[in-house]
Each structure stands twice: as C-alpha cells, then as structure tokens.
C-alpha cells in the first residue's frame, strides 16, 4: 500500500470558472472577479491537505465482486482526502454564492487528488501491459471494505454515522486492470 501526503495541488482559475458556469453560478455578480477568485483559490490550496492511499489487489481476491467495477486481472483502490481545511474558509453566516463556490473548489481539488493517484497506477498498468477501466466511485457497503483494506485511519478517513466518508472532502474509487489486446497495436 502506498500513502502520499501533502503533494502539490494546483487549482486552476479557468477550471473553476468553467465549473461555476456549468453550475449556473455568476461569479461576477457574487463579487468574484479574477483577482478575488485567484485569492480564494490560493487560500484553498493553502488550507487543504491532500492525501491518498492506494493499492492494487490481484485476482483472486474475496472482495473483488464488491469492489472491482469490471472483472479483470486485478483492481486498484484509491482513497483520497483533502482533510477539513476548506471548512475554515466557509464560516457560519457566509454568503450562499461563496459556499457554492467553495463546494465547486472542493470537488475540483478532490478530483485532482484522485487523478494524481490514478496517473501513478496508469504507469504501473502500462508496465504490465494492462489498461485501467474508467474510475468507478464507491459507496455504501463498499466504503467499509475500502477502509478496512486500505487502513483509512492512516490518512484520517473514517466512516460517518450516515455511512459516508469522514471528513466530507474524501472519496473512494476503484479501477479494474484489463489486459491490452496484442492485436490492438498491430494496425
């Protein structure tokens, strides 16, 4: 199992603007010009503590039917968290547009954290002449299995009373390892 904590996370202004537009959040009306938005992104980058745990499990594995999105040669689990840092940027009584924008920033940062780990897994898969399936988010009973297999306490992630991950800025995903077709590259 690999654990990586505190790697550099880059939050890009154009990506945040794109997602805000998609969520129908008018940044200009909310008082977030480019300078104010960049300032908030810098604060968010300083506030989060990105961390991931990931491991690949070979076939056969007793939890494979529950955790593997597609039957394959193996599957990888990724557990990612940003910690509780963004909650400090959303004090009680904060305006609704700011809260919505912080949620967008949190989602983006969490996706970037997962992407960091999956890029490393992709490199490993290519060395084994495999390709990875699309990312499959995990929920429900699969979360307790992920926390057990990856020891979520190592990065401060646990299971909340509602059955979701705690802290809230956490995610668990699975990817299957599929063998590459030898004929695929001979065209």
**Cα angle, residue 99 at apex, residues 86 and 44 outer, rounded to 5°:** 30
Chain position carrying tokens 């998609």: 22
For residue 5 the two structure tokens come to 């904590």
* Cα angle for residues 83, 84, 90 (degrees, 5° grid): 140
pLDDT > 90? residue 175: yes
- Give the predicted TM-score (pTM) of the model: 0.88
Please tell me what DSSP assigns to residue 82. -
Binning pLDDT at 50, 70 and 90, where does residue 119 land? very high
Q: Does 140 have pLDDT greater than 80?
A: yes
> And the tokens for 3?
């654990």
Residue 182: band (very low, low, confident or very high) from pLDDT cuts 50, 70, 90? low
């Amino acid at each position: 199992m690999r654990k990586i904590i505190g790697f550099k996370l880059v939050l890009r202004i154009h990506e945040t603007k794109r997602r805000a537009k998609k969520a129908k959040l008018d940044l200009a009306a909310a008082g977030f010009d480019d300078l104010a938005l960049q300032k908030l992104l810098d604060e968010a980058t300083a506030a989060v503590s990105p961390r991931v745990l990931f491991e690949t499990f070979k076939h056969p594995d007793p939890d494979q039917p529950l955790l593997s999105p597609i039957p394959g040669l193996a599957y990888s689990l990724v557990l990612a968290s940003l910690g509780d840092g963004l909650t400090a940027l959303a004090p009680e009584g904060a305006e609704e547009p700011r809260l919505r924008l912080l949620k967008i920033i949190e989602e983006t940062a969490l996706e970037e954290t997962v992407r960091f780990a999956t890029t490393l897994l992709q490199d490993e898969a290519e060395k084994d002449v495999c390709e990875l399936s699309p990312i499959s988010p995990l929920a429900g009973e699969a979360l307790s299995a992920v926390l057990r297999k990856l020891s979520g306490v190592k990065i401060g992630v646990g299971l909340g009373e509602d059955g979701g991950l705690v802290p809230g800025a956490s995610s668990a995903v699975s990817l299957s390892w599929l063998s590459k077709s030898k004929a695929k590259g001979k065209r």
